[in-house]
Each structure stands twice: as C-alpha cells, then as structure tokens.
Amino acid sequence: MVPLIYAKAGEVVEVVRIVGGRGLSSRLANMGIYPGVKLKVVSSAEFGPLIVALDETRIGLGRNMARKIFVRV
C-alpha cells in the first residue's frame, strides 16, 4: 500500500484507504473516489496535478490530496 502520489503513469491502482477528515473523504466520494475503486494514472508529472481516469472521466488531484489516498498497485 503506497500513496497515490507514487504511482506511475499508465498504472491501474485500487484505492485501499483515504487518510483524512470527513471533508476530504466526502469531496473524494463526490468525485467517485473511495476504497475499492480502480483508477488509471494518466499523468504523474513531478510538478502540477496528478491526473487519474475513472472509467472515461479524467480527474485532476492536487499533490497534497494524492498523498492522502493510499492505493494497491
């Protein structure tokens, strides 16, 4: 289990845990990101947002937010 920030572009990962308060968990759930969901990492550049794909939807996540999402590769 590693933070999403360390996933590489092209990898498909499964969300295992979200470490944060109710606000963060609620915001991510509204985007469709919660434990059990599979995401494909589209872009993980060193700077700027991390871009993931959930089905056909692209979602940009701030790097601090991505650090709080733990995934299984």
pLDDT, tens only, 40-59:
999 988 888 999 999 999 99
CA distance 34 to 55: 14
pLDDT for 9: 93
This prediction's pTM: 0.91
- Return the closest-CA partner of residue 37 out of 46, 45, 28: 28
- Per-chain mean pLDDT for the chain: 94
pLDDT of 45 reads 80
In the predicted model, what is the mean pLDDT of residues 5-27?
Answer: 94
DSSP of 14-53? EEEEE-S-HHHHHHHHHHT--TT-EEEEEE--SSS-EEEE
66 pLDDT above the threshold of 90: yes
Does the structure show a pLDDT above 90 at 38? yes
In the chain, where the domains are located: 2-72
Name the fold adopted by 2-72: SH3 type barrels. (2.30.30)
